[in-house]
Amino acid sequence: MADAAHVTTREPGSRRAGAAAYHYTLATFLDNLGLNTPLAYLPLLPVIAVWASWEAAGRFRGATPPIRDRQLDHILGIPLLLIALFLITITPVLWGTFYWALRPDVLSFALFVTGAVILAYGLGWAWRMRAPLLLLFLMWPALYIGVMSGVLAWFVHATDAVLGLLTTHLPLGVSQVAGSPSLLAVHPATGPVLQVSVSAACAGGDGVLGFLLIGGALMTAVDGPILGRLFWLAAGVLMTFILNVGRIVAIVLVAGAGHPAFALGGFHAVVGLVLFGLGVAGMLWLLPAFGLSRTAGLGRTARALAVEPGPRAPGAPAPGVRWPSQLTAVRGPSLRRASKGVTVLLGLGLFLAADQSLGVYARFANGSGSPTVAAMTASTAVPNGWQLGLLASYPWGTEYFGPGSSYVRYQLVHAGGISGDSVLWADVVTTSDHSALLTYSVENCFLFHNYHIVSARTVDLGHGVTALLLNYSDPAVHGRWATVTWTWPVTVAGTTSYERIELTSPLVSGQQVVPNLQPSGGAVRNVVVAVENFFNSGSNPRQTAQNRAFWGADAALESFGARFVARSVARPATRV
């Protein structure tokens, strides 16, 4: 049985392997530190997890190694690695431009490290390292995006109330704007009045979430009563909130002193991290006041689990000494160990390549899940040689896509003249309800209007955008069209919405009849289209002479769509 100290010393190697395989995920995750968002401190969790694993290893140094069942290790570890691989290979293709908004690659990293620890050291050691491994799962931003809005609203009200007391009773030269408590008016000695907005992200939610995560990790390395730990965490949350209010006051004071650019620029970006670090250090110093100790518990678990070695048998070698026959036995499986090493390297290379390929999806959302693509409007830049004009806006779209949604039709005309491939229609649906876009799909609309779907296939428009290309006709008006459509998250008035763009090209030169894309009242699944395509032999666009008639329109749509996507993702990313 392996020596416990030897195993615990090597355990962080799994994290080093994870860092190498997921280098792109971790590198982009560090960008969150520069964001003004409640998720800004999540990138600190991998560092804290490494520290927590080292502390946990120290607690079990000298303890009896846990019993290892290699079959159980393989049953649990291998599926975790396969799921981790699925999340960074297949899931990006399925989710497309929405992948980076929820960051499944971060969850994949946690699964990879957990599976690697189980396979390398056994389920017993993974259980002993459960606290550091849990920290890796807590990195996943999707755990917080859905619940942070309510928490942030509470912090905004609390911060506004405290700032109101301070600005009223202290001569800070700052006052709250009437009717807008989150807007501070700074009255400098000279110059005009400055207005500073205290956004939801600035109200302290980021620091509190960061302290809860870091403080929770610190609690795994201290010894003391549970009640003392809870009081310590509560005191840390209160201190973090107070320090954040102090940060806001410091920013407005620097701005009022005549340095508004510095106050809202470099000072604003750094002072929060500095005060947060001081707050954590101060709470560590206050551990004894809550009956907690970082050192009292170290080694206690190891002593409890330690087993004294039995007497050495007569003629047996001294500890650490091997007979020549034992040395020969050790050399025997060297080939097997080498093959395992090659397998590990190949596996790491596969994960590394898959993780690196995620870069195409990073353009569509920043670290906080906010989209970086602006919603399409009449002033949106289009590929060179094309002109964009508004045709109509359909109010009936709200019946299907929810209040606040919009359904707008644009016309795109190429400077070369009016021809089948020089006129395109762009139907743009924008809504905050993503499920409505799935329910009232484009295929659903075509089937509802009795259009004959000739073919349906997916096409790659580049930059991580996978679109659906449909060829179809309307026997009633003898119209034939090709449509390429995709959906992505967009920014509308500072909030996240979802936009479906449908680019349509008439097949016949000069054809001005536009297809009716009003949804039906029911939810027809995509499988209906697949079944219809199967019976029409339309799944392969090059299969019949009828399909070949669409080749020119398909090629023109793919070309235009790829250039439009490239222009959209090349705009500067939106930071919050």
**Confidence check: pLDDT of 535 > 70:** no
Residue located via tokens 């960061």: 210
Identify the top-confidence range among 290-299, 481-490, 514-523.
481-490
Secondary structure letter of residue 368 according to DSSP: T
Residue 198 phi, psi (nearest 5): -95, 95
Confidence bin at 182 (pLDDT 50/70/90): low
How many domains, in total, are found in the chain? 2
Of 75-89, 204-218, 371-385, the poorest mean pLDDT is in 204-218
Residue 340 lies inside a defined structural domain of this protein? no
524, part of any domain: yes
* Range with the poorest average pLDDT among 52-56, 304-308, 441-445, 477-481: 304-308
User: Is pLDDT of 66 > 90?
Assistant: no
- pLDDT tier for residue 528 given thresholds of 50, 70 and 90: very low
Q: Does any domain span residue 251?
A: no
Q: Determine the residue type at 366.
A: N
Q: Which amino acid is at 377?
A: T
Asked whether the predicted pLDDT for residue 13 surpasses 80, the reply is no
309-323, 331-345, 451-465, 539-553: segment of lowest average pLDDT: 309-323
Average pLDDT on 523-547 reads: 45
Higher pLDDT, 196 or 317: 196
Look up the domain containing 480 and give its range: 386-569
Find residue 488's DSSP bridge partners: 499
Question: pLDDT category, 198, cuts 50, 70, 90?
Answer: low
Residue 332 has pLDDT above 60, yes or no: no
Domain presence at residue 323: no
Closest to 16 measured CA to CA, from 400, 344, 239, 258: 344
Distance, CA of 26 to CA of 328 (rounded, Å): 43
- Could you tell me how many helices (H) and strands (E) the chain has, helices first? 24, 10
202 domain-assigned: no
User: Quick one: pLDDT at residue 430?
Assistant: 92
Strands (E), 493-542: 495-506
The pLDDT of residue 110 is: 92
- Between residues 132 and 315, the one the model is more confident about: 132
Task: Answer yes or no: is pLDDT of 301 > 60.
Answer: no
The whole-number pLDDT of residue 114 equals: 92
**In which band, very low, low, confident or very high, does the pLDDT at 308 lie, cut at 50, 70 and 90?**
very low
Residues 461 and 356 in one domain: no
Q: Where is average pLDDT lowest: 135-149, 151-165, 198-212, 369-383?
A: 198-212
pLDDT band, very low/low/confident/very high, at 150 (cuts 50, 70, 90): low
Q: How far apart are CA 447 and CA 308, in angstroms?
A: 76
Tell me what pLDDT residue 538 has: 42
pLDDT in the model for residue 81: 92
108 in a domain, yes or no?
yes
Give the number of C-alpha atoms closer than 13 A to the C-alpha of residue 405, restricted to the C-beta side: 24
- Same structural domain, 506 and 393: yes
Three-class SS state of 450: coil
Quote the pLDDT of residue 257. Answer: 76
Model confidence at 368, in pLDDT bands (50, 70, 90)? low
Distance CA 237, CA 243 (A): 10
Per mean pLDDT, which range of 125-139, 177-191, 310-324, 503-517 is the poorest? Answer: 310-324
Which letter, b or e, does each residue of 363-395 get, where b requires 16 or more Cβ atoms within 10 Å of its Cβ? Answer: bbbbbbbbbbbebbeeeeebeeebebeeeeeee
Nearest to 88 by CA among 112, 65, 67: 112
One domain for residues 402 and 446: yes
pLDDT > 90? residue 381: no
Q: What is the dihedral of CA 75, 77, 83, 87, to 10 degrees?
A: 180
Side-chain-facing half-sphere of 117: CA atoms under 13 Å: 26
Distances (CA, A) of 403 to 310, 407, 477: 76, 12, 33
**Which residue in 423, 431, 430, 418 sits closest to 388, CA to CA?**
423
Is the pLDDT at 278 greater than 70? The verdict is yes
Say whether pLDDT at 522 is over 90. Answer: no
Q: What is the pLDDT of residue 258?
A: 73
- Please check whether residues 516 and 390 belong to one and the same domain: yes
pLDDT band at 475 (very low <50, low <70, confident <90, very high): confident
Summarize the confidence of residues 398-407 as an average pLDDT: 86
The yes-or-no verdict on residue 536 having pLDDT over 50 is: no
Average pLDDT of span 387-404: 87
Q: Which whole-number Å values give the CA distances from 305 to 2, 59, 308, 309, in the listed order?
A: 15, 10, 10, 13
The percent of residues above 90 in pLDDT, for the chain, comes to: 8
Residue finishing a domain among 309, 333, 364: 364
Between 533 and 427, the more confident residue is 427
Q: Which of 304, 330, 364 is the last residue of a domain?
A: 364
Based on the fold, state whether residues 360 and 436 are members of the same structural domain: no
Comparing 490 with 446, the larger pLDDT belongs to 490
Q: Provide the whole-model pTM.
A: 0.61
Q: How confident is the model at residue 128 (pLDDT cuts 50, 70, 90)?
A: confident
Compare 240 and 187 and report the one with higher pLDDT: 240
Rounded Cα distance, 284 and 344, in Å: 40
Residues 472 and 550 reside in one and the same domain: yes
Reply yes or no on whether the pLDDT at 364 is more than 80: no
Q: Which of 138, 293, 146 shows the shortest CA–CA distance to 221?
A: 293
Q: What is the pLDDT of residue 344?
A: 74
Alpha-helix runs per DSSP H in 138-204: 142-145, 148-169
Cα 495 to Cα 140, 338, 365, 370: the distances in Å are 21, 53, 12, 8
Same domain? For 357 and 394 the reply is no
Amino acid at 6: H
Residue that terminates a domain, selected from 364, 394, 427: 364
Please name the amino acid found at residue 28: T
The larger pLDDT score, comparing residue 503 to residue 45, is at 503
In this structure, are 353 and 490 located in the same domain? no
Q: Looking at residue 80, what is its pLDDT?
A: 93
d(CA 180, CA 156): 12
Pairing verdict, β 465-474 and 386-393: unpaired
Does one domain contain both 503 and 559?
yes
Residue 83 lies in a domain: yes
**Mean pLDDT along residues 298-327:** 45
Mean pLDDT, residues 537-547 taken together: 48
Q: How far is CA 533 from CA 449, 453, 541, 551, in A?
A: 16, 7, 10, 17
Pick from 6-20, 253-267, 384-398 the range whose average pLDDT is largest.
384-398
405 and 553 co-located in one domain: yes
CA distance linking residue 550 with residue 538, whole number of Å? 12
**Whether residue 93 sits in one domain with residue 19:** yes
- If pLDDT is split at 50, 70 and 90, which confidence band does 541 have? very low
Q: What is the chain's mean pLDDT, rounded? A: 74
Q: Please indicate, yes or no, if residue 219 is contained in any of the structural domains.
A: no
- Please say if the pLDDT value at position 382 is more than 70: yes
**Regarding predicted confidence, which is higher, 251 or 82?**
82
Amino acid at 170: L
The answer to whether residues 351 and 444 belong to one domain is: no
Indicate if the pLDDT at residue 168 is higher than 90: no
pLDDT at 422 over 60: yes
